[in-house]
Amino acid sequence: MPITVAVWSYTHSVTFVADNVLRSLKEIIRQTGLDPTKITDQWDVLHRGIKTWMESRHLERIVLEVYSSRSPDVCLGRWDVEISDEYSGDDGLF
């Protein structure tokens, strides 16, 4: 009978969520017509930061705001990614 270790499961989930959050942010950046090179170039450090803060349960939200370089005080769009891990019974939810 296989035994699942919760620590492995949580670490695996954190890695999965961090990957998908970054992919989503990259896609949002691309879809707004911006060049995603900067996020791609900093992928490893961003992934490590998101993963570390999620593992310590300090990360609650990621906010991406897009501003025009011509009008730096005008927000063109904002995306909020809420980070939550909740448990009810045997099921976990990220």
pLDDT digits (tens, 9 = 90+) for 8-67: 577 778 898 899 999 999 999 999 888 999 999 999 999 999 999 999 999 999 999 988
Stated pTM of the model: 0.76
**Which of these, 48, 11, 41, lies nearest to 26 by C-alpha position?**
41
Question: Residue 87 pLDDT more than 90?
Answer: no
Does some domain include residue 19? yes
Give the amino acid at 36. Answer: P
Number of structural domains the chain divides into: 1
pLDDT at 21: 94
Does some domain include residue 36? yes
How sure is the predictor about 4, in pLDDT bands with cuts at 50, 70 and 90? Answer: low
- Structural domain including 79 reads 6-88
The alpha carbon of 72 is separated from its chain's Cα centroid by a whole number of angstroms, namely 25
pLDDT at 35: 92
pLDDT at 75: 92
Does some domain include residue 40? yes
Phi, psi of 21 (to 5 degrees): -65, -45
Tokens 């996020």 locate to: 39
Does some domain include residue 1? no
Contact criterion met (CB below 8 Å) for 19 and 47? yes
User: pLDDT tens for residues 67-85?
Assistant: 888 888 999 899 999 988 7
pLDDT at 67: 87
Contact criterion met (CB below 8 Å) for 25 and 38? no
